[in-house]
């Protein structure tokens, strides 16, 4: 079983400590939401897991499928089945959505079997069209350059499409809901629910509760001052919606590492 396990993770950027001991365990098939005010380190956690070079791990341990994630190069993390949807996706002019995805699929297949000759184009086309239909994307989308001139909603859909095609085992979505209107939010959520039905584990990082109306989390965590300070069920998100973050701030003024 695929499992992402984070133990007492401390991370700094430009000499400033941002994560103060994060503990978290996400199993395949589970949806965990991480909520928290801006600047508490949610994106820092996402980037660290994906191996962004600016984020320095000071201490702690992260294992993915039993292997030491922090020792792995970025491409290996992704080939092993970890996926990160960025809060601010970059555009790749000159590379179409279809080409980008086919390259990514082939890289994963080759990682699993070095003899693999790559997915046949008709087979890939069928897979892509199937997933695009689920996400209610026009087929012309496949021929556009990745993220070039995409609206906010299109970028998010492109991210969910990548996940649907790549079928990672654990996906980290960093504010995939931000900037979406209600229709786009619903479609993106349907995409996430589809992935969930395929037994993927999801770490859903979000500032707002609204996406959680569509994607019901198994566990909700609150991050404050670089640590997870509260964990609970879906009702915790509703409580935040009603009460805001002030009560959490008061309780954990300087951020207290969670014990789990």
Residues making contact with ligand ADP (CB under 6 A):
13-14, 18, 36, 38-44, 54
Q: Is 44 in the site for Mg ion (CB under 5 A)?
A: no
The least CB distance from residue 85 to Mg ion, in Å, is 12
Q: Is 176 in the site for Mg ion (CB under 5 A)?
A: no
Place of tokens 């566990």: 219
The least CB distance from residue 231 to Mg ion, in Å, is 19
C-alpha separations of 176 from 92, 118, 188, 208, 212 in Å: 19, 30, 8, 11, 12
Q: Would you state the torsion angle of the CA atoms of residues 5, 10, 15, 18, taken in this order, to the nearest 10 degrees?
A: 90
Alpha-carbon gap, residue 255 to 218, rounded angstroms: 24
140 binds, among Mg ion, ligand ADP, none (CB under 5 to 8 A by kind): none
13 binds, among ligand ADP, Mg ion, none (CB under 5 to 8 A by kind): ligand ADP
Q: Is 78 in the site for Mg ion (CB under 5 A)?
A: no
Place of tokens 């609204």: 210
* Residue 228 near residue 23 (C-beta atoms within 8 A): yes
The least CB distance from residue 246 to ligand ADP, in Å, is 17
Q: Is 43 in the site for Mg ion (CB under 5 A)?
A: yes
The least CB distance from residue 162 to ligand ADP, in Å, is 21
């Amino acid at each position: 079983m695929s499992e992402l396990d984070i133990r007492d993770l401390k991370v700094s950027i430009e000499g400033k400590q941002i994560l103060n001991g994060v503990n978290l365990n996400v199993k395949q098939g589970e949806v965990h939401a991480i909520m928290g005010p801006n600047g508490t380190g949610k994106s820092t956690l996402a980037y660290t897991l994906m191996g962004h070079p600016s984020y320095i791990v000071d201490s702690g341990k992260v294992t993915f499928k039993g292997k030491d994630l922090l020792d792995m190069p970025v491409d290996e993390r992704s080939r092993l089945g970890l996926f990160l949807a960025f809060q601010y996706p970059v555009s790749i002019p000159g590379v179409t959505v279809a080409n980008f995805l086919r390259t990514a699929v082939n890289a994963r297949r080759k990682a699993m079997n070095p003899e693999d000759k790559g997915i046949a184009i008709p087979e890939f086309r069928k897979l892509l069209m199937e997933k695009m239909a689920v996400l209610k994307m026009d087929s012309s989308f496949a021929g556009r350059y990745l993220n070039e001139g995409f609206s906010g909603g299109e970028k998010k859909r492109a991210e969910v499409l990548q996940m649907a095609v790549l079928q990672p085992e654990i996906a980290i979505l960093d504010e995939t809901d931000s900037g979406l209107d209600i229709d786009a939010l619903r479609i993106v959520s349907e995409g996430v629910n589809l992935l969930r039905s395929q037994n993927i584990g999801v770490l859903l990082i979000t500032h707002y509760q609204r996406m959680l109306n569509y994607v019901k989390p198994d566990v909700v965590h609150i991050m404050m001052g670089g640590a997870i300070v509260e964990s609970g069920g879906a009702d915790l998100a509703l409580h935040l919606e009603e009460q805001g973050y002030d009560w959490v701030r008061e309780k954990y003024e300087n951020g207290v590492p969670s014990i789990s």
